[in-house]
Amino acid sequence: MSHNVWFVAAGWMAVALLASLISIRVGISVALIEIFLGVLAGNFLHFQTTEWINFLATFGAGLLTFLAGAEIDPISLRTHWKPAAAVGLVSFLLPFAGAWLAAYWVFGWEWRAAQIAGVALSTTSVAVVYAVMVDSGLNATEVGKLILAACFITDFGTVLALGVLFANFNASMLLFVAVLAVVLYFLPRFTREIIQRLGATRVSEPEVKFLFLVLFFLGGVATWVKSEAVLPAYLVGLVVAGVFLRDRVLMHRIRSIAFAILTPFYFIKAGLYVSLPAILAGAAIIAGLLAVKLLAKGIGVWPAGMAFGFPRRLNAYTTLLMSTGLTFGTISALFGFENHIITQAQYTVLVTVVILSAVVPTLIAQKFFEPTREEAQFVAGRPAAAPATLQPTEDA
């Protein structure tokens, strides 16, 4: 019975359904609950992955990465280019270097395993940051858009590091870069045309299939050169972001497909390899790496915020939000584990730190540093004279 594909699928979908129900009840994202249930399923029910589960999970991670790229607001990115690049870059570089060196020198990890630690802990979760800002109305302000733009730069650094650090640098890599460049150049025009000609009228979803085709093909080329499929997925998302901004229906369809059938497999699988005994055994390393991540983000983002004249409270809030991580952190850790770069104990440590980094800074930011209405209207380099765009809170 355990080899019957339908029963296996039913077991995984039961966990995914339970995660949805719990998520609705407790108000925590389904992704986090799926990871937690995955941990329980792996440790107590001895769930195993199969080839088809691995594929669905990998594609789920790829689609999440694609969505992360496609959700960028290109206009906002252009408007806030300089401060966003400055804050985003240091927000990537310092935690990357800090966690890498701490894992290598302090905790004695191997060089490549330490690099995975650096990549996994360098991220900022745009989705977590955005959710916090929607709650306070900050997302509609200029500074909110600047923070989001900075998060995209940070994530780009993470994805680039993951895609480049462990790849083979030979002729096939040149071919990969060339193919990627050509596809990315023509993709926005093709996507726009397919949507305009067919997207609005065809239930056979040609525009979704077209994007999946591109993601599958580039994912194949990326893994062929030992890179990671998330790199082309993020770049594809980036170049079609403008198209997606106008076509919310397409975004909705892709997110629905991803959340219904693909990302549950990814997040449950991500939890599956977390070993509960390893959490206890690695508690000190977990605390140490979390401290390194928060400290490095602080050292990097705080002065950058000061340089652009952020008010003190807003700067603390921004720094804490930039310290959050979730999806790319788990993707990086899983990449390391599946490619035998890190052990299961190290994987457990990294995923635990990533999850804690989603929760701890958010709670501190919301509890102690939520900006006032005036602070929220601040625009980097000049206090906002424009009309207030801060939405009233839900409790109003």
Partner 1 sequence: MFHRIVVGFDGSDSSRRALEDAVRLAKLTGAEMLVVMVEEHLPKYPSAMSETTEEREAIDTYFAELEREAEALGRDTGVPLGVRIVAGNAPKLLCDVAKEVRADLLVIGASGRSGLWAGVLGTTADKVVDHAPCSVLVVRQWHN
Residues near partner 1, by CB under 8 A: 21, 23-25, 27-32, 64, 67-68, 71, 125-128, 130-131, 134-135, 251-252, 255, 258-259, 263, 267, 326-327, 358-359, 362, 393-395
CB 218, CB 232: distance < 8 Å: yes
- Rounded to the nearest whole angstrom, what is the least distance from the CB of residue 97 to partner 1 in the complex? 26
CB closer to partner 1 out of 117 and 148: 148
DSSP 257-320: HIIIIIHHHHHHHHHHT--HHHHHHTHHHHHHHHHHHHHHHHHHHHHHHHHTT--HHHHHHHHH
Distance of CA 207 to the CA centre of its chain: 24
Q: CA-to-CA distance for 262 and 388, rounded, in angstroms?
A: 40
- Rounded to the nearest whole angstrom, what is the least distance from the CB of residue 69 to partner 1 in the complex? 11
- Rounded to the nearest whole angstrom, what is the least distance from the CB of residue 149 to partner 1 in the complex? 13
- Rounded to the nearest whole angstrom, what is the least distance from the CB of residue 152 to partner 1 in the complex? 10
CB 151, CB 159: distance < 8 Å: no
- Backbone phi and psi for residue 379, each to the nearest 5 degrees, phi listed first: -115, 135
Cα-based torsion angle of the residue sequence 353, 359, 151, 135 in order, rounded to the nearest 10 degrees: 170
CB closer to partner 1 out of 32 and 143: 32
Q: CA-to-CA distance for 112 and 134, rounded, in angstroms?
A: 38
Cα–Cα–Cα angle for 131, 329, 84, rounded to 5 degrees? 60
Q: Residue 270's closest CA among 1, 58, 117?
A: 58
CB closer to partner 1 out of 114 and 269: 269
- Backbone phi and psi for residue 108, each to the nearest 5 degrees, phi listed first: 75, 25
CB closer to partner 1 out of 29 and 79: 29
- Rounded to the nearest whole angstrom, what is the least distance from the CB of residue 335 to partner 1 in the complex? 17
- Rounded to the nearest whole angstrom, what is the least distance from the CB of residue 234 to partner 1 in the complex? 13
CB closer to partner 1 out of 135 and 193: 135
CB closer to partner 1 out of 318 and 324: 324
